Structure 1
C-alpha cells in the first residue's frame, strides 16, 4: 500500500467548519478565536456588505459567502497560521483566501477607516487629561511592525534593532482608541521624519489650537505648540524638569498599551509576511480599524494585551541625526506651552 498521496489528487480540507463548528463555539471561545464578539463580527459583516466588499462569482467558482469571508480575514489577523493552513480550515484554495482578504482589507481602509479612526469633535470626552486649561487630547508614538524581507530596497526596511519593519505612527486617547494612524515608511526612518511627512503634521495646528489642546510624544518627536515632549536629558536637568518628564511619561504610556493590545489581539502584526508593501500597509491600517471597533463595542481586550515584545516599551537612545538638530531649532514654539503644562503638573514652587 503506497504511503504517499498522488500530487494530482484533491487536497483534503476541513468540511463544515463555518456552518457546523463555529456556531457551536461558546461565546468566549468564538471571541478567543476571532478576537471579536459575535455581535461585532455581525456588524462587520453588514458594514462590509454595505461597502460592496463581497465578490461576485469568479471564474466559475462559488463566491465566498458574507458569513465566511470576514471570519477568514479575522482568523488570518488573529493568528500566524500559514495561508495553506487557513485555506484548509475554511475549505478554500490559497488564492481564494488571498483574494478575499485583500478585497475585505481594501474595503475596511477605503470605506470604514474614516468612520472608525477620526479626530474627535469633542476632544474632552476621551482626553488623557485637562490641566491648566490645556486639554491633553492624546499620545503619539511609533511602533515597528515586523515584515518579511521586501523584494526591493531591503536595506531601507532594516530598523535599528536589525529586522525589517514598517513604522506605524498612531495617536490614541485615554481609552486606547486610535484617532490617527499612518504607516508605510520603512523601519530605518526616524520617528521625527515619519511625523513630519505624515498628514497629521500639517493638520495638527488646526486640530490642536495653540494654548488650548496638545498631544504628548516622547523625545524622538519635535517640540511644537501642539506636540509636547519631555526635556532632553543632557545630564543637567533640574529636579523640576525630571519631575515633568515623569508626569509626561505617566500620561503617554497609554499609547504603548494601545500598541500592545493591537498586537496582542491581532497577532499577525507580530510578523507580516506579504509580497506587496501596499498590501502590508493596508493590512496594518485595517487591523487598527478593527481594534477601534472592538473598543467601541465595549471589548477592552484585557486578556489580549501582552507585555512588550521588544518593539516598544523601553525608550531606546537613538544617535543624534541631522533631522533631530533641525528640530531643536524649532523648540521655542512649544516651550511656553510646555512651561504652562509643567506649572499645572507641579505647581510654581518646585525648582
Structure 2
C-alpha cells in the first residue's frame, strides 16, 4: 500500500499541472491605427464583426475559462494578418498553441459560412455601374469583372501529394478569383490542387453556368489560360494588325485589376503569401474567410496598414498558355467586333 501511495505521489509531482493564465484583451491596449496594423480592422469594425460572429463562436458554458468571441476573433485575425506560427499567435492573449489552432478553425468556419453573403455576382444596378467604370478605363463596353488564378503555397500533404505540385514546382492550392473595378471579389473557387489548370476550374465552377445561362449579363476578361467565350474575352496569342495589338494592350492593362486585387488580398492577409502548414481542406477554409474579410474591408474602405503596400503586379507571361478545350465561335465574333470598334 505504501508503494502505491508513493507511486501516485510521484506521478502527481511530475504531472504537468493545468494553469489558467491571465489573458490580456488587445482592445483595451491599442488605438485604432495599432488595431489596423495588427488585426486589419479598427475598433468600431471589430465590434461589428464580434456582434455578427458571436452566435457561432459563443460557448454554451463559461466553464474552464472559455474564450469569449472577441478574443477568438482577435486570435484568428492576428493569424490571418501575419501568418505567424499558431503558438506565437496564442502568446498574444496567453493561450496554448492547441487552443489557438482550434480557435482559428472555428472562426474560419464561421466566416466561410458567410461567403455567399459577401462574395456574389453583381445585380443589375451594380453590373451597370461596373460596366461604366470599366468603359471609362478601357473604352470597351460591357465589362463587369476580371478573372485570374492564384496559388496559395501549402506544406506537402500526406495524401495525393503529387496533385498539389503546380507548374512552378511547389505545393499549392489553385484559387480562382474574379473581381470588379473596385477590387471587390465577386467570385471565389478555392478547392482545387495546384496542378489543376485554370480552365478546368472555370469549367467546373458555378460561374460558368451563371454566365452561360444568362444569370449574369456582361463580359469577363481573362488571360490566355482561359477559353474564349462570348462572355469571356482573352488576348490574341499572335496579333498581326495595329487594332489587334491595341486590343491586347488594353486587355492587359484592364485585366491587371484582378492581379492588383490579389496583391491587396495577400498583403492585407499575409498568411496567404507564405507557406500555410495546414491540411489542404483547412487552407481552403482560411482562404474563404480571408476573402470575406477582404470584401468587408473594401466595402468599409479600410486602408492597408502603413508600410504594407500591395505586392508588385507580376509581368505577364509572354509565352502562350493555351486553354484546355476548343474556342467558342461566338466568342471569336464578339472579340472581333470589339477589335473593330477599337
Task: Calculate the TM-score normalised by the size of structure 2.
Answer: 0.86
3-state SS, counterpart of residue 45 of structure 2: helix
Post-superposition offset of 1:22: 3.7
Counterparts of 2:193 and 2:140, CA distance in 1: 38
Counterparts of 2:317 and 2:18, CA distance in 1: 52
Equivalent residue number for residue 172 of structure 1: 179
Counterparts of 2:166 and 2:318, CA distance in 1: 14
Counterparts of 1:179 and 1:146, CA distance in 2: 23
Alignment of 1:191-230 (within 5 A): 191-205=198-212, 206-209=214-217, 213-230=218-235
Q: Is this contact kept in 1: 2:145–2:178, CA < 8 A? A: yes
Counterparts of 1:302 and 1:258, CA distance in 2: 16
The change in CA–CA distance for 1:178 and 1:161 in structure 2 (over 3 A counts) is same
The change in CA–CA distance for 1:125 and 1:39 in structure 2 (over 3 A counts) is farther
Alignment of 1:295-306 (within 5 A): 295-301=298-304, 303=306, 304-306=308-310
2:77 is the counterpart of 1:54: no
What CA RMSD, in Å, does the superposition of the two structures yield over aligned residues? 2.4
2:140 is the counterpart of 1:155: no
Counterparts of 1:90 and 1:64, CA distance in 2: 10
2:271 is the counterpart of 1:263: no
Post-superposition offset of 1:339: 2.0
3-state SS, counterpart of residue 230 of structure 2: coil
Q: Is this contact kept in 1: 2:154–2:280, CA < 8 A? A: no
Counterparts of 2:61 and 2:278, CA distance in 1: 25
Post-superposition offset of 1:272: 4.4
2:22 is the counterpart of 1:27: no
The change in CA–CA distance for 1:160 and 1:34 in structure 2 (over 3 A counts) is same
Where structure 2 has 5 or more consecutive residues not aligned to the other structure, the ranges are 1-13
Task: Calculate the TM-score normalised by the size of structure 1.
Answer: 0.84
Equivalent residue number for residue 143 of structure 2: 136
Q: Whose Rg is larger?
A: 2
Counterparts of 2:335 and 2:321, CA distance in 1: 22
Where structure 1 has 5 or more consecutive residues not aligned to the other structure, the ranges are 1-5, 347-351
The change in CA–CA distance for 1:75 and 1:343 in structure 2 (over 3 A counts) is same
Equivalent residue number for residue 124 of structure 1: 128
* Residues paired across the two proteins, number: 322
Displaced runs of 4 or more, over 6 A: 9-13, 318-321
Counterparts of 2:130 and 2:101, CA distance in 1: 37
